[in-house]
């Protein structure tokens, strides 16, 4: 537990102490803050009456409504015999400033999102976990309920000796998201809800969707069909794209759980919630770029350097204005720094490694944009070309080649084109590829024309990637073998000739 960080989060809600006296005289001791919804809700881990608990504290004008809705959601789950952490206290704090729900802590347990991440290298165990979650959602639907805030972290798996999720008991969390199934268009609501669950899983596991959908139908006594399976697959892609776009293109440009934003007539500053806005003033960032000899790049278009800001090692990339006409051309357009900021979060929510985005800073004159800065965490690691040149172990090289193939196949499925696949833009961290330099990256819509254009861009990405090892026959052979194996798993080579067109197969 980080006591200082917890205290700062409590201060946002006007709480000066870690202990809150409740209306019945009992005391809730807050040990850690799990989640913050600014000005509305605080989710904490703590001790109450000698036992470990989780507490939800509701603030503001709508506190009573959200408190009652969460309480009712838990009651609905319990009435349907769906496992959920029991409510131990519902009421007000003694000073009547907060509405409070206290729930029993289920131990030992992990949320499904953590379990899913831990099983990244165990496809069979992941499939078993997916089946358990599908059956849990089917139980919701059978009881006439919908979990409208359907994230993997809203399911808890009580640990078992198996350790891989098999046989683990599933608990549904977050009563606030529980709703009654609508009487009209219930089938559509069920499909939308199930597709939302599928969209939270890795796109590399989408080939399991037909099998999982058949399991869902079997539980509800419904008939499945190839047409229905194809429909749920398409709906999954649509929802995944909408969620990623809503987060990366909109949410992280305003104050939310992950980001703090400060705007004025002269600037726009967005910073990761763990940092302070004032640490990323333009003067501070410019000061870190003064030593041209130490900078990674000193160009007319951009200046790049490693620096220490707010005690953290970061990379600052400043997008310069070359001249009056260049400034005029960029003034009303989204900055390349903003594009990097959005794409970093897009990759993160899609499960693709990239340095953590820390700050976006734009100089503005009213609605006109000037210079812009993108700040990300510094990652000490070799780039892909350095890795293959320095590594002796053939098996280690094969593993990294396979991981690179998996990354680009995932980008293919998500319809992301990086746009500049130089080896220097791919770091290798513990054998896993990490993408940097995201200002040329684009996410393409799912309609047929955009998909056709995306495939051309993906082929360009693959050609540029292979060009890095044009003079290294061993590495080129390893990469071609890895790409042929990964892309060929689901018939892509035959269907689209992607690798043939990229001169890989």
Q: How many domains does the chain have?
A: 4
- The DSSP secondary structure of 334-365, one letter per residue, reads PPHHHHHHHHHHHHHHTT---PPEEEEEEEEE
412 in the same domain as 296 = no
C-alpha to C-alpha distance for 93 and 101, rounded to whole angstroms: 10
C-alpha to C-alpha distance for 159 and 167, rounded to whole angstroms: 9
237 in the same domain as 132 = yes
Instruction: Return per-residue pLDDT of the chain as tens, 505 residues.
Output: 556 667 667 777 767 678 899 999 999 999 988 888 878 889 999 999 999 999 999 998 899 999 999 999 999 999 999 999 999 999 999 988 899 999 999 989 999 999 999 998 898 999 999 999 999 999 999 999 999 999 999 999 997 654 444 568 999 999 999 999 998 899 999 999 999 999 999 999 999 999 999 999 999 999 999 999 999 999 999 999 999 999 999 999 999 889 999 999 999 999 998 899 999 999 999 999 999 998 999 988 999 999 999 899 999 999 998 877 776 677 778 899 999 999 999 999 999 999 999 999 999 988 888 899 999 999 999 999 999 999 999 999 999 999 999 999 999 999 999 999 999 999 999 999 999 999 999 999 988 999 999 999 999 999 999 999 999 999 999 999 999 999 987 555 455 789 999 999 8
Q: Give all strands of the β-sheet with 267-272 in edge-to-edge order.
A: 259-263, 267-272, 357-365, 368-377, 312-319, 302-309, 297-298
pTM for the complete prediction? 0.89
Other CB atoms within 10 A of residue 331 CB: 15
355 in the same domain as 279 = yes
184 in the same domain as 297 = no
Question: What integer pLDDT is reported at residue 330 of this predicted model?
Answer: 77
Question: What integer pLDDT is reported at residue 378 of this predicted model?
Answer: 98
Task: Please give the angle made by the CA atoms of 463, 469 and 473, to the nearest 5 degrees.
Answer: 115
266 in the same domain as 175 = no
122 in the same domain as 97 = no
474 in the same domain as 407 = yes
419 in the same domain as 363 = no
189 in the same domain as 123 = yes
C-alpha to C-alpha distance for 216 and 328, rounded to whole angstroms: 56
Q: Give all strands of the β-sheet with 169-172 in edge-to-edge order.
A: 109-111, 155-158, 169-172
CATH number of residue 296's parent domain: 3.30.200
114 in the same domain as 238 = yes
Range of the structural domain that residue 216 is part of:
110-243
494 in the same domain as 395 = yes
Q: Which of 377, 404, 429 is the last residue of a domain?
A: 377
CATH number of residue 13's parent domain: 3.30.200.20
CATH number of residue 421's parent domain: 1.10.510.10
CATH number of residue 170's parent domain: 1.10.510
C-alpha to C-alpha distance for 242 and 247, rounded to whole angstroms: 9
Strands 312-319 and 368-377, bridge-based pairing: antiparallel
Q: Which of 104, 124, 152 is the last residue of a domain?
A: 104
368 in the same domain as 390 = no
Q: Which of 353, 377, 401 is the last residue of a domain?
A: 377
């Amino acid at each position: 537990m980080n006591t200082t960080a917890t205290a700062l989060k409590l201060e946002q809600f006007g709480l000066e102490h870690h202990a809150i006296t409740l209306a019945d005289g009992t005391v809730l001791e807050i040990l850690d803050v799990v989640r913050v919804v600014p000005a509305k809700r605080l989710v904490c881990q703590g001790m109450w009456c000698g036992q470990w608990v989780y507490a939800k504290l509701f603030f503001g004008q709508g506190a009573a409504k959200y408190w009652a809705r969460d309480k009712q959601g838990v009651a609905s789950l319990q009435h349907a015999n769906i496992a959920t952490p029991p409510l131990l206290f519902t009421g007000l704090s003694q000073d009547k400033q907060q509405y409070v729900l206290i729930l029993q802590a289920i131990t030992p347990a992990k949320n499904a999102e953590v379990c899913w991440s831990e099983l990244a290298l165990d496809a069979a165990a992941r499939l078993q976990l997916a089946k358990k979650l599908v059956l849990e959602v089917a139980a919701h639907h059978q009881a006439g309920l919908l979990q409208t805030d359907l994230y993997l972290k809203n399911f808890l798996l009580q640990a078992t000796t198996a350790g891989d999720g098999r046989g683990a008991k599933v608990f549904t969390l977050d009563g606030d998201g529980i709703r009654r199934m609508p009487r009209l268009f219930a089938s559509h609501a069920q499909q939308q809800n199930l597709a939302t669950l599928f969209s939270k899983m890795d796109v590399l596991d989408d080939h399991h969707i037909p099998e999982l959908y058949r399991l869902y139908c079997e539980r509800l006594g419904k008939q499945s069909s190839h047409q229905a399976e194809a429909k749920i697959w398409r709906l999954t892609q649509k929802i995944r794209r909408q969620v990623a776009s809503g987060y990366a293109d909109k949410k992280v440009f305003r104050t939310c759980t992950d980001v703090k934003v400060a705007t004025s007539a002269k600037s726009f500053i967005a910073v990761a919630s763990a940092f302070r806005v004032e640490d990323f003033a333009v003067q501070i960032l410019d000061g870190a770029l003064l030593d041209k000899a130490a900078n990674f790049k000193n160009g007319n278009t951009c200046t790049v350097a490693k620096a220490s800001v707010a005690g953290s090692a970061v990379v600052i990339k400043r997008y310069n204005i070359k001249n009056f006409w260049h400034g005029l051309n960029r003034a009303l357009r989204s900055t390349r720094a903003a594009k990097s900021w959005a794409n970093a979060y897009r990759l993160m929510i899609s499960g693709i490694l990239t340095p953590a985005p820390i700050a976006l800073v734009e100089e503005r004159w009213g609605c006109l944009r000037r210079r812009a800065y993108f700040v990300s965490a510094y990652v000490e690691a070799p780039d892909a070309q350095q890795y293959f040149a320095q590594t002796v172990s053939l098996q280690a090289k094969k593993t990294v080649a396979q991981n690179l193939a998996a990354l680009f196949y995932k980008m293919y499925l998500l319809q992301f084109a990086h746009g500049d696949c130089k080896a220097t833009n791919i770091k290798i961290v513990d054998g896993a590829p990490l993408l940097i330099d995201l200002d040329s990256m684009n996410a393409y819509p799912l309609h047929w024309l955009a998909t056709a254009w995306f495939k051309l861009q993906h082929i360009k990405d693959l050609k540029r990637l292979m060009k890095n090892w044009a003079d290294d026959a061993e590495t080129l052979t390893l990469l071609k073998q890895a790409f042929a194996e990964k892309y060929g798993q689901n018939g892509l080579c035959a269907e689209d000739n992607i690798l043939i067109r990229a001169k890989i197969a």
